[in-house]
Amino acid sequence: MKNPAFLFDLDGVIFDSEGQYTIFWNKIGEDYLGDPDLAGKLKGTTIESSLQRCFPDDRTRQEEVRKKLYDFEARMRFEYIPGVFEFLTSLKEKGFPTAIVTSSNRVKMAQVYKSRPELPGMVTYVLTGEDFPASKPAPDCYLIGMSRCGSSPETTFIFEDSFNGLESARSSGGHVIGLATTNSREAIAPYCDLVIDDFRGITAEQLVIS
């Protein structure tokens, strides 16, 4: 049997940042599309996928919103979800392969590393939206994460929060642990093998033997 691996989405899983994105994308939706509830439809998808969905074939508008997003991300706060720092540290000490699998791009990650320079050293791999051919909810990103970590779906534990991300994780065949940080426990439960509020009290051993 292959060794267990642990894959993590970023926003809403490692960082308590989804609320900030909700404010940004709902404002974009209201100002440009007359849709003040836009954010929920885009969560978990790459910036390219989001821009193409919102402004198909309108490169000028895409670039305008991209700049607004990059300016916004430069001012964002990246606060850890409770317990995740300790959980990642424990996984590293025990030698488990880990990966961040995020729809964020490398421009965004550069801002993250400015705020949290310790993050890249806490995981084995960091995969961004440029590293997989199809955006969540397609399973490509998590299948690539498994390949990098040398694990199989049966031995991979995936942490997600958004519906697009949860669908991606479920379609990959991995064990899905849902974070009730962006949506309610009741709403995400059908997509998950386990629902948690945060990482406090969670250990790798509990997940592997459950």
CATH of the domain at 131: 3.40.50.1000
Beta carbons within 8 Å of 22's beta carbon, 6+ residues apart: 39, 40, 43
SS3 category, 194:
strand
Do 68 and 89 lie in a common domain? no
Number of other CB atoms surrounding residue 54 within 10 Å: 20
Q: Which helix (H) or strand (E) holds 26?
A: helix 18-28
Do 205 and 123 lie in a common domain? yes
Q: What pLDDT does 99 receive?
A: 98
Do 55 and 109 lie in a common domain? no
Beta carbons within 8 Å of 185's beta carbon, 6+ residues apart: 178, 195, 197
Q: What pLDDT does 1 receive?
A: 47
15 DSSP 8-state letter: B
Q: What pLDDT does 118 receive?
A: 97
**Structure-token pair, residue 73:** 């991300």
Q: What pLDDT does 210 receive?
A: 66
Q: What pLDDT does 209 receive?
A: 75
**Structure-token pair, residue 37:** 């509830």
- In tens digits, the chain (210 residues) has pLDDT values of 468 999 999 999 999 998 999 999 999 999 999 999 999 899 888 899 999 999 999 999 999 999 999 999 999 999 999 999 999 999 999 999 999 999 999 999 999 999 999 999 999 999 999 999 999 999 999 999 999 999 999 999 999 999 999 999 999 999 999 999 999 999 999 999 999 999 999 999 989 876
Do 23 and 55 lie in a common domain? yes
CA-wise closest residue to 122 among 13, 27, 14, 4: 14
Do 55 and 92 lie in a common domain? no
What's the total number of domains in the chain?
2
Question: What's the rounded Cα separation, in Å, for the pair 179 and 113?
Answer: 23
Question: What's the rounded Cα separation, in Å, for the pair 188 and 193?
Answer: 10
pTM reported for the whole predicted model = 0.91
Do 55 and 106 lie in a common domain? no
Boundaries of domain holding 100 = 5-16+79-209
CA-wise closest residue to 49 among 145, 141, 158, 177: 141
121 DSSP 8-state letter: G
Do 152 and 55 lie in a common domain? no
Do 142 and 191 lie in a common domain? yes
End-to-end CA distance of the chain: 16
Do 67 and 101 lie in a common domain? no
